[in-house]
């Protein structure tokens, strides 16, 4: 489910960009017809749109997908799907999960990889035998059930890998959110701001919904209580 949601958001992003191109091409063709610029007789209108507009749009969609989903990203998504509990863990693949763990060398040492391999066989047998794990549709519900039944302690390596899978979309979205905010916050007049002040500006902008709930009097009192009030540049 995590991989599917990520692909869905990426496809919406691609289609949004391509729709502008398609609309522009259609307007250009309409303007040509209104200005009396004839389409060659060897081509009908449908052939004109199919060959010069539709195929061009398909090529652009394909290029955008190739840019956003390279070979490594596709392998990562494929490995993530092996955790899916839907249809009684039909997508489970121990080899893919071992490959997924190797994407995180800082979290899984060689010893941890051996432990993970030993746990995976017992894990999938346990999941298929236990009734409360039947009928689950996504890895979020799976993680909740593992904690409720204390199996996150029994299969600690499996659960650690599952947590990394759950964190991946959040981390990716957070990074994209910060870069989008950076374009707005760091204007030409703020180009010489120090890293500390810029970080504070980004934090208040990104989490503005939370800061709007803070009382201004509380901010003033907190600031006045500080002995050192000089801003670090």
In a domain, 179, yes or no: no
> CB–CB of 93/144 below 8 Å?
no
Task: List C-alpha distances in Å: 51 to 20, 43, 77, 164.
Answer: 18, 10, 34, 45
Regarding whether 43 and 18 lie in a shared domain, the answer is yes
Mean pLDDT of the region 149-158: 92
In a domain, 62, yes or no: yes
Regarding whether 81 and 125 lie in a shared domain, the answer is yes
Regarding whether 191 and 158 lie in a shared domain, the answer is no
The token pair that represents 198 in the structure block:
């810029």
Contacts of residue 153, Cβ cutoff 8 Å, sequence gap at least 6: none
Tell me if residue 140 falls in helix, strand or coil. Answer: helix
Per-residue pLDDT of 77-106, as tens digits, reads 788 888 889 888 888 999 999 999 998 888
In a domain, 178, yes or no: no
Got the DSSP string for 44-88? -HHHHIIIIIIHHHHHHHHHHHHHHS-HHHHHHHHHHGGG--HHH
pTM above 0.85, yes or no: no
- Quick one: DSSP state of residue 133? G
In a domain, 29, yes or no: yes
Q: Distance between alpha carbon 138 and the CA centroid of its chain, in Å? A: 16
Q: Which among 159, 75, 67, 171 has a CA at the least distance from the CA of 116? A: 159
155: exposed, middle or buried (Cβ count in 10 Å: 0-12, 13-18, 19+): buried
C-alpha to C-alpha distance for 91 and 88, rounded to whole angstroms: 9
B/e letters for 35-61, b = 16+ CB within 10 Å, e = fewer, are eeeeeeeeeeeeebbeeebeeebeeeb
Q: What is the CA radius of gyration of the chain?
A: 26
Q: Of 113-122, 134-143, 191-200, where does the model show the most confidence?
A: 113-122
Regarding whether 128 and 200 lie in a shared domain, the answer is no
Per-residue pLDDT of 12-41, as tens digits, reads 555 555 555 555 555 555 555 544 555 444
In a domain, 8, yes or no: yes
Q: Residue 5: pLDDT above 90?
A: no
Q: Which among 131, 175, 14, 6 has a CA at the least distance from the CA of 80? A: 6
Q: Distance between alpha carbon 31 and the CA centroid of its chain, in Å? A: 40
Regarding whether 126 and 211 lie in a shared domain, the answer is no
Q: Which among 54, 37, 57 has a CA at the least distance from the CA of 46? A: 54
In a domain, 110, yes or no: yes
Residues in the chain: 233
What total number of domains does the chain contain? 3
In a domain, 176, yes or no: no
- Quick one: DSSP state of residue 38? P
The token pair that represents 144 in the structure block:
């909740």
Q: Which domain holds residue 83?
A: 73-171
Per-residue pLDDT of 168-224, as tens digits, reads 765 555 666 666 777 777 777 777 777 787 787 877 787 788 888 888 888 788 878
Per-residue pLDDT of 38-85, as tens digits, reads 544 445 555 666 666 666 666 776 676 666 666 777 787 788 888 889
């Amino acid at each position: 489910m995590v991989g599917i949601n990520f692909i869905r958001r990426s496809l919406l992003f691609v289609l949004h960009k391509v729709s502008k191109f398609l609309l522009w091409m259609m307007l250009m063709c309409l303007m040509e017809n209104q200005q009396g610029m004839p389409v060659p007789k060897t081509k009908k209108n449908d052939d004109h749109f199919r060959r010069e507009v539709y195929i061009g749009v398909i090529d652009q969609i394909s290029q955008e997908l190739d840019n956003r989903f390279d070979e490594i990203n596709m392998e990562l998504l494929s490995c993530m799907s092996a955790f899916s509990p839907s249809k009684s863990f039909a997508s489970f693949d121990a080899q893919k999960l071992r490959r997924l763990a190797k994407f995180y060398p800082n979290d899984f040492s060689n010893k941890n990889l051996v432990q993970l391999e030993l746990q995976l066989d017992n894990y999938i047998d346990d999941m298929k035998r236990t009734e409360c794990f039947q009928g689950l549709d996504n890895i979020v519900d799976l993680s909740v059930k593992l904690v409720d039944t204390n199996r996150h302690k029994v299969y600690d390596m499996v659960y650690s890998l599952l947590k990394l899978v759950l964190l991946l979309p959040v981390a990716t979205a957070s990074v994209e959110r910060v870069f989008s905010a950076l374009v707005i916050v760091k204007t030409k007049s703020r180009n010489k701001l120090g890293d500390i002040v810029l970080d504070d500006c980004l934090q208040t902008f990104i989490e503005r919904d939370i800061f709007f709930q803070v009382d201004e009097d509380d901010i003033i009192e907190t600031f006045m209580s500080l002995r050192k009030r000089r801003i670090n540049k």
